[in-house]
Amino acid sequence: MGKKAIVFGATSGIGQELAQLLTNDGYTVMITGRRLERLQNIQTQNKEQYIIKQHDITDVDASEKIFEELPDIFDKVDLIVHNAGIGEENYNLEWDKDLPTLETNVIGATRIYQLAYNYFKVQGFGHLVSITSIASIRGNRFVPAYHASKAFQSNYMESLWMKAQRTKKANIDITNILPGFIDTDIITGDTFWMAPLDKATKQIYNAIKNKKRKAYITKRWWLIAMLLKIVPPRILMKFM
């Protein structure tokens, strides 16, 4: 009857590191992603505590199947982390570049949010976490779809938080994680205040354990978030 978690998008970066922290803490963790070889390599490190599932989050039928089959795998699920995400620079607004971002970060994410929330509602409890981004706060000329998709995710998580507060029948926690720059494969261009993956993921895990509604990672990104919220568009456009 130990703790059980699912991390969607755990083949690299934040998801892989977070799944590792969860196993260290005694969780049995289902990890997902498209790259099967990476899932298999992670599982060989700890066969007892990792369950692997090759899964493309843009395939909503496959997401539904995972949730249908959950009772065969886990007696309960304490924690579901939606981490899978992509983003690509698209200054010239090419459709082929934006579409995968929308399919992954908007369509795929929404179905996981719905399935997880409804699963927890039936179960009577559970904690849903989404790794969104500081990018959710404002627009950006270079990566508009990524910023807009993260705004969508962040807004959706706030809606779920409100919904969970008003639900008397189940005890559901909702956590929105907003990272700044963290040293992973997703980062390509120039950055500042880039946090090491291990430090940032520890802070993410602490926010999860404390059941925070919202957490900026690393903590000092709170300051950037506050500035972003108030800076006028005509000044912002000089930087973003």
Q: Which of 13, 23, 129, 207 binds ligand NAP (CB under 6 A)?
A: 13
Residue 86 lies near ligand NAP (rule: CB under 6 A): yes
- DSSP state letters, 142-155: SSHHHHHHHHHHHH
In the complex with ligand NAP, the residue whose CB is nearer, 170 or 197, is 197
Altogether, the residues listed in the chain come to a count of: 240
Q: Please name every residue paired with 54 in a beta bridge, in sequence order, or none if there are none.
A: 33
Residue window 58-77: x/- pattern of binding to ligand NAP, with contact defined by CB under 6 A: x-------------------
Q: Which of 20, 28, 101, 104 binds ligand NAP (CB under 6 A)?
A: 104
Q: Which two tokens stand for residue 23?
A: 């196993």
Phi/psi zone of residue 84: left (φ > 0), alpha (ψ -120 to 50 degrees), beta? beta
Q: Between residue 144 and residue 173, which ones bind ligand NAP under the rule CB under 6 A?
A: none
The 10 Å CB-count burial string (b at 16+, else e) for 153-175 is bbebbeebbeebeeeeeeebbbb
Residue 185 lies near ligand NAP (rule: CB under 6 A): yes
Residue 84 lies near ligand NAP (rule: CB under 6 A): yes
Q: Between residue 122 and residue 141, which ones bind ligand NAP under the rule CB under 6 A?
A: 131, 133
Peptide bond preceding 218: is omega within 30 degrees of 0, i.e. cis? yes
Site residues for ligand NAP per CB under 6 A: 9-15, 33-35, 55-58, 83-87, 104, 131, 133, 179, 181-182, 184-187
